[in-house]
Chain A
Amino acid sequence: MTRLDVKKTYKLYIGGEFPRSESGRSYVVNDAKGRFMANAAQASRKDARDAVKAARAAFAGWSGKTAYNRGQVLYRIAEVLEGRRDQFEAELRASEGVTAARARTYVDAAVDRLVWYAGWADKIAQVTGNANPVAGPYFNHSAPEPTGVVAVVAPKGPLLGLVSVVAPVIVTGNTCVVIASEPHPLTAITLGEVMATSDLPGGVVNVLTGSVAEIAPWLASHLDVNGLDLTGVTDPALATDLEIAAADNLKRVRRPGVEELLDPPPLDRMTRFLETKTVWHPLGI
C-alpha cells in the first residue's frame, strides 16, 4: 500500500504560537535548483501589528528575568538546536544547495553563536556599564537597560543569519519581531519550533515570513517599536525610507553593512539596542 506524504505547513511564529497569516496568503518557496519546496505564509501588516503586540506583552517578563536566567534560556536554545541538527542540515542543503560539509559548518556556527551570546547575558553590563567618578558626595553609576521591542530584518543565510541577528537582541532583555529572509523562510520557522520548546517565553521572538518591502515599513513607523535592525535590507533606497520612518519616534536603528556571518560578531549588535541609565546615589547621609 502506498503511503501519503505528510507535508509540513510552514506558518508564522507569533506570541509562542504558529498562526497562519491573517491575510490567508502564502507564497511559493523553491529549493536551490528552482523546484517547488513548500508554501510559506505571506505575512501582512496586521500580522506585524499582532507580532508587535505579542512582543510588547512579553517585554516586562523577559526583561525582568535575571541576566543569568536569560543566558540559561539562550543556552537551552543551543542545546535543542544541537539535538535537531540533522533536520537543519537537510533543510540547509535543500534550500541553499550547499554541500553536506558546508551545512554542518553553518549549524555548528549557529549553535556556537547561541552559546557565545548566552555567555554575554550576565557580562554585558560589566563591559558597557560603569561606576563614574563625580565631584560630589555621590556614588554615580551607569547601567545598560534593554530598549524594548526591536524589529529585525534578518539577512540571507536561513539559520546562521537569523540566529546572528536575534540572539544579540534578546540576550540583553529586548523582545523582537523578525522578518525572515524572503527567499529562505522555512528554516526560520523550523528555528521558531526550536525556540517554542526551549523555555523561551512566548512573544520574546516573533518570526514573520513574507515580503520585506511590504512589512518592514509598517514596523519602522510603528510607535510601539523601539529599535530597528536593518541588517537584511539589501535595497539602499528602502533602507533609507525605513530609517526616515523610524526617526518619528526616535527608534534606535542599526544600518545594514557588509558582514561575513561566519566571522566573530561585533558587540554593537547588542549595544545598539541598549539604553544607559545613570543613577546618582547620595553618600554619607
Chain B
Amino acid sequence: MTTLSSTASSLAEATSSDSALRRFLHGLPGVDQVGAEQRVATLGTRSIKTTAKQQAIDLAIRMVDLTTLEGNDTPGKVRTLAAKAQRPDPTDPTCPATAAVCVYPDMVGIAKQALGSSGVKVAAVATAFPSGRAAMDVKLADTRDAVEAGADEIDMVIDRGAFLSGRYLEVFEEIVAVREACGSAHLKVIFETGELQTYDNVRRASWLAMLAGAHFIKTSTGKVQPAATLPVTLVMLEAVRDFREATGQMIGVKPAGGIRTSKDAIKYLVMVNEVAGEDWLDPDWFRFGASTLLNDLLMQRNKMKTGHYWGPDYVTLD
C-alpha cells in the first residue's frame, strides 16, 4: 500500500464530513484476496524450532488476554482466572504472566481485586458486547461503569449495521465518544470481521478506528464464526503499519477467537514480524484474545522443558 501518501492534515480532513470519510475509505486500495491468503499460507510454513520456539512461546504467553465471557461467569471463576493469569504455570517461576484478563464489566471489580499490583491488566468488554445493539447513552454508561470499576482497557464493538450500510461517520463518532468515556483506559475496537464480509471492509474499518483514536484494533468478539483468521489479521497489520508511516503513531492489533494451538500462535507471531515489524512483537502492541490457547502454550512449554509430551491432565480445566 505504498500509494498511500497521506499526511496527518489530509487525514484530519478525511474525517470532516460523512462524504469525505466515505471518499477516503473507499479510496483505500482494495485487498488482493488471493495474494493475502497466499502470503499467509507461505508465512505459515516458516519453521520455528528449539530456542526460537521457546522464546516465541514465552512471548505468546505474555501476549495472552486470558478471557472469560460467558453468561455463567461467577466471581469464583474470575478469581481462578486471575490466579492463572498471574502464574500460568505454578510449578515454574520462570513462566511469565499473561498480559491481561478480559471479563464482562460487572466482573471488573473482582478481577481488579484478585490481580492487585501484579501488573496483569484488566480488560472489560463494553458497549453492549457482543452485538453492539443498544442506544448510544447505554453504550457510554456501560463503558463508564467498567472504567469506574477500575478497568485498564476497554474492548468496544462497532455498530456493524451502521458500518455495512455505509454510515461511516456514525461509527466514527461512536468510537470517538467511547474513547472520551474511557478516560485514561486504553481502547480496543472490535470489528467482528466475521460479519464484515470482505477484506476491503476490514481495511476500511481498521482505518476508520485508527482515525477515531483507537489504541488497539481487534478482530472479533469470539461469539461469531469465523473469528480471527490469519488473512484478516494480515490486513489489519498492514493497516497499522501504513498508519504509522502516515502519522508516526503506533496502534496495536489483537486477534481474538479461534486461536487454540501454539502452532497457530507462532504463525501469528511470524506474520507480525514480517508484516508490521519487530516493534509490534511486544505485549503492548500485539495481543491474543484467548482462553484455551494458554493451556496449549503451557503444554508445549513443558514439552520443550522436559523432552516428553504433556497432557491436559496437568493444566487447569476452564
Q: Which of B27-35, B189-197, B270-278, B306-314 contacts A (4 or more CB under 8 A)?
A: B306-314
A245 interfacial contact with B, CB 8 Å: yes
Chain A residues closer than 8 Å to B308, beta-carbon distance: 218, 221-223, 245, 248
Chain B interface, >50% SS class: loop
A31-50 interface code vs B (CB 8 A; 1 in, 0 out): 00000000000000000010
- Interfacial residues of chain A within 216-261, with CB under 8 A of chain B in the complex: 218, 221-225, 245, 248-249
How far does the Cβ of B50 sit from chain A's closest Cβ, in whole Å?
Answer: 15
A52 interfacial contact with B, CB 8 Å: yes
Chain A residues closer than 8 Å to B307, beta-carbon distance: 221
Chain B residues closer than 8 Å to A248, beta-carbon distance: 308
Complex CA distance for A245 and B311, rounded to whole angstroms: 15
Total interface residues in chain B, CB < 8 Å: 8
- Interfacial residues of chain B within 264-318, with CB under 8 A of chain A in the complex: 307-314
How far does the Cβ of B47 sit from chain A's closest Cβ, in whole Å?
Answer: 13
Chain B residues closer than 8 Å to A52, beta-carbon distance: 309
Chain B residues closer than 8 Å to A223, beta-carbon distance: 308-311, 313-314
B169-203 interface code vs A (CB 8 A; 1 in, 0 out): 00000000000000000000000000000000000
Complex CA distance for A248 and B311, rounded to whole angstroms: 13
Identify the interface centre among B311, B313, B314: most chain A CB within 10 Å of its CB.
Answer: B311
Q: Given B309, B312, B314, which contacts A49 in the complex, CB threshold below 8 Å?
A: B309
Complex CA distance for A203 and B312, rounded to whole angstroms: 17
Chain B residues closer than 8 Å to A224, beta-carbon distance: 309-313
Smallest Cβ-Cβ distance to B307: which chain A residue: A221
How far does the Cβ of B307 sit from chain A's closest Cβ, in whole Å?
Answer: 8
Complex CA distance for A224 and B311, rounded to whole angstroms: 4
Complex CA distance for A180 and B268, rounded to whole angstroms: 37
Complex CA distance for A218 and B308, rounded to whole angstroms: 7
How far does the Cβ of B121 sit from chain A's closest Cβ, in whole Å?
Answer: 32
Complex CA distance for A218 and B311, rounded to whole angstroms: 13
Smallest Cβ-Cβ distance to A245: which chain B residue: B308
Chain B residues closer than 8 Å to A245, beta-carbon distance: 308
How far does the Cβ of B297 sit from chain A's closest Cβ, in whole Å?
Answer: 16
Complex CA distance for A201 and B302, rounded to whole angstroms: 31
Smallest Cβ-Cβ distance to A52: which chain B residue: B309
- Interfacial residues of chain A within 178-193, with CB under 8 A of chain B in the complex: none
Chain A residues closer than 8 Å to B310, beta-carbon distance: 223-224
Complex CA distance for A56 and B299, rounded to whole angstroms: 15
Chain B residues closer than 8 Å to A222, beta-carbon distance: 308-309, 311
Complex CA distance for A56 and B313, rounded to whole angstroms: 11
Chain A residues closer than 8 Å to B314, beta-carbon distance: 223
Chain B residues closer than 8 Å to A56, beta-carbon distance: 311-312
Complex CA distance for A241 and B312, rounded to whole angstroms: 24
Chain B residues closer than 8 Å to A249, beta-carbon distance: 311
Smallest Cβ-Cβ distance to A219: which chain B residue: B309
Complex CA distance for A52 and B310, rounded to whole angstroms: 11
Complex CA distance for A245 and B314, rounded to whole angstroms: 17
Smallest Cβ-Cβ distance to B311: which chain A residue: A224
- Interfacial residues of chain B within 39-83, with CB under 8 A of chain A in the complex: none
Complex CA distance for A105 and B222, rounded to whole angstroms: 58
Identify the interface centre among A223, A225, A245: most chain B CB within 10 Å of its CB.
Answer: A223
Chain A residues closer than 8 Å to B313, beta-carbon distance: 223-224
How far does the Cβ of A275 sit from chain B's closest Cβ, in whole Å?
Answer: 14
Complex CA distance for A222 and B299, rounded to whole angstroms: 11
Complex CA distance for A45 and B13, rounded to whole angstroms: 59
17 pairs of residues in contact across A and B, judged by CB atoms under 8 Å: A52-B309, A56-B311, A221-B308, A221-B309, A222-B308, A222-B309, A222-B311, A223-B308, A223-B309, A223-B311, A223-B314, A224-B309, A224-B311, A224-B313, A245-B308, A248-B308, A249-B311
Top-10 shortest CB links A-B: A224-B311, A221-B308, A223-B311, A222-B309, A223-B310, A49-B309, A223-B314, A223-B309, A222-B308, A224-B312
Q: A224-B313, A248-B308 are in contact. List 15 more A-B contacts (CB 8 A).
A: A49-B309, A218-B308, A221-B308, A222-B308, A222-B309, A222-B311, A223-B310, A223-B311, A223-B313, A223-B314, A224-B309, A224-B310, A224-B311, A224-B312, A249-B311
